[in-house]
Amino acid sequence: MVKVKKNLFVVMMLVLSMFLYACSSGEEESASGEGKVTLDFWVFGATNYEDLAKEYEKENPNVKINIKNSELGDHHDSLFTSISAGTGAPDLTMIEVDQLDRYREAQDRFVNLYDLGADEIQDQYLDWKWQMAENGEGDFLFGLPTDIGPKAMYFHTEVFEEAGLPTDPDKVSEMISTPDQFADAATTVLEKTGKPMVDSMEMAFRANMDALEVSYFNRDGELLIGEADNGVKEAYDYAVELHDKGVVGSFEMWTPEWANALNQGGFAVEMAPAWLKGYMTENAPEGAGKWRVTTLPTDFAGNWGGSYVAIPSETKHSEEAYKFAKWMLSPENQLESFVESGLFPSAPEVYEMEEFVNNSDEYFGGQNTAAYFAEAAKEIPEVYKGPKYVTVNNEVLTALRNVQEGADPKEEWEAAVKRIEGLVSR
């Protein structure tokens, strides 16, 4: 009888020990290697940061960098969980610009990079980009700038040709230099080719949206959308206007149908940052040589996307983490990130560098596309988005989609404003 019990006891111990084994395998690392610092670094999207980390490890043998790469949404959810629980955050993390504002009231959960001497490298970066990572008083810095998303106009040469429009980038930007001219060109494209000018309502809306210095909220968190001079309504109206002309397609971004349209020139124009290039080369191989890049009308010049690297205050190695971030985001390494992954530099001196100036893009028929983005980068205003920006913006996008499906624009706008007011009062 005792023997039988022993058997079961053995099974239970086996189960337990497997757990403990699994448990210890994780903890080994922090214990191993006296004086060796391990930095956990969370990144999202397509970056070359893993390669840069390896390079840094070689130069600094006492530092080990663990990179966790995930998809944008998962990345920020996971980060929020850790920051909220006050435990389990990494030593360094990327934060996307639209997500940054929600952490502003949790300033104490992050290391003030000014305390680590960040003011010394401030001149290296674009002012607007830098200021967006400061708190209202300007004495706290959440993160160092990684890439930015200055927007330019991608156009499909075959569609333009068919519509009888110029295909030389400079001539295109000359011809389309105001929103009205853009709308006229769109009508021409539609009449001659039957194709829409832009892919989706979101794109049409973003044309003006990304150029706004102030959108839904002011820095005190007050909702501005009901006010007469608020720019969101204008952006909305412009999108509706384009829709009424019939020049807006229904290719939602990131869907297979959209990728297909990119591939085959299903619409004429994409108003997007440099990072779209990477997506196009991967997913629209047949578009090679057919797309070109040029400057957007100045009214549309804006920023879409880009990130920061922040250091959660839980870390025990803030100095080392900062040193690595500073190195990784130096102008030289930003050039490398640009060449490798299309991350557009936030350090303007890169724009003068040999490799950048002589950059030529095979996918764009050998055009030097970087120059157009660099030009756009300098004209971007500092923008405040507010902690609930993403959700609030989604409500307007919903309204626009409904308009596309036949709803009344005015009613949809009013309904969206009402929903937004409800959301903000939460």
Identify which of 424, 9, 6 has the alpha carbon closest to the alpha carbon of residue 226. Answer: 424
Tell me: does residue 422 bind other proteins (CB under 8 A).
Answer: yes
Nearest distance, CB of residue 127 and other proteins, angstroms: 27
Q: Which of 70, 131, 230, 359 binds other proteins (CB under 8 A)?
A: 70
Tell me: does residue 411 bind other proteins (CB under 8 A).
Answer: no
How many residues in the chain? Answer: 426
Contact 387, 221 (CB under 8 A): yes
Q: Which amino acid is at 334?
A: Q
Residues 107-136 as x/- pattern, contact with other proteins by CB under 8 A? --x---------------------------
Q: Which of 254, 354, 358, 406 binds other proteins (CB under 8 A)?
A: 254
Tell me: does residue 387 bind other proteins (CB under 8 A).
Answer: yes
Tell me: does residue 167 bind other proteins (CB under 8 A).
Answer: no
Written as six digits, the tokens of 260 are: 């297909």
Nearest distance, CB of residue 328 and other proteins, angstroms: 18
Q: Which of 39, 67, 329, 335 binds other proteins (CB under 8 A)?
A: 67
Q: Which of 142, 160, 217, 275 binds other proteins (CB under 8 A)?
A: 275
Stretch that binds other proteins, among 167-175, 213-221, 292-300, 397-405 (CB under 8 A): 397-405
Nearest distance, CB of residue 167 and other proteins, angstroms: 26
| CA distance linking residue 267 with residue 155, whole number of Å | 9
Tell me: does residue 103 bind other proteins (CB under 8 A).
Answer: yes
Nearest distance, CB of residue 358 and other proteins, angstroms: 25
Stretch that binds other proteins, among 98-106, 119-127, 134-142, 165-173 (CB under 8 A): 98-106
Q: Which is nearer to other proteins, 188 or 260 (CB)?
A: 260
Distance of CA 69 to the CA centre of its chain: 15
Distance of CA 4 to the CA centre of its chain: 62
Q: Which is nearer to other proteins, 39 or 165 (CB)?
A: 39
Please spell the DSSP secondary structure of 307-348, one letter per residue.
EEEE-BTT-S-HHHHHHHHHHHTSHHHHHHHHHHH-PEES-G
Q: Which is nearer to other proteins, 102 or 326 (CB)?
A: 102
Tell me: does residue 282 bind other proteins (CB under 8 A).
Answer: yes
Strand locations in 29-157, DSSP E?
37-44, 63-70, 92-96, 143-156
Tell me: does residue 218 bind other proteins (CB under 8 A).
Answer: no
Name the percent of the chain in helix, strand, coil, to the closest 5.
55, 15, 30
| CA distance linking residue 47 with residue 69, whole number of Å | 9
Stretch that binds other proteins, among 3-11, 185-193, 296-304, 320-328 (CB under 8 A): 3-11
- According to DSSP, residue 269 is labeled E
Residues 8-27 as x/- pattern, contact with other proteins by CB under 8 A? xx-xx--x--xxx-xx-xxx
Please calculate the CA angle 182-184-187 and round it to the nearest 5 degrees.
110
Give exposure, 262-273, as e/b (b: 16+ Cβ within 10 Å).
bbebbbbbbbbb
Q: Which is nearer to other proteins, 192 or 401 (CB)?
A: 401
Q: How many Cβ atoms are within 10 Å of 383's Cβ, its own excluded?
A: 19
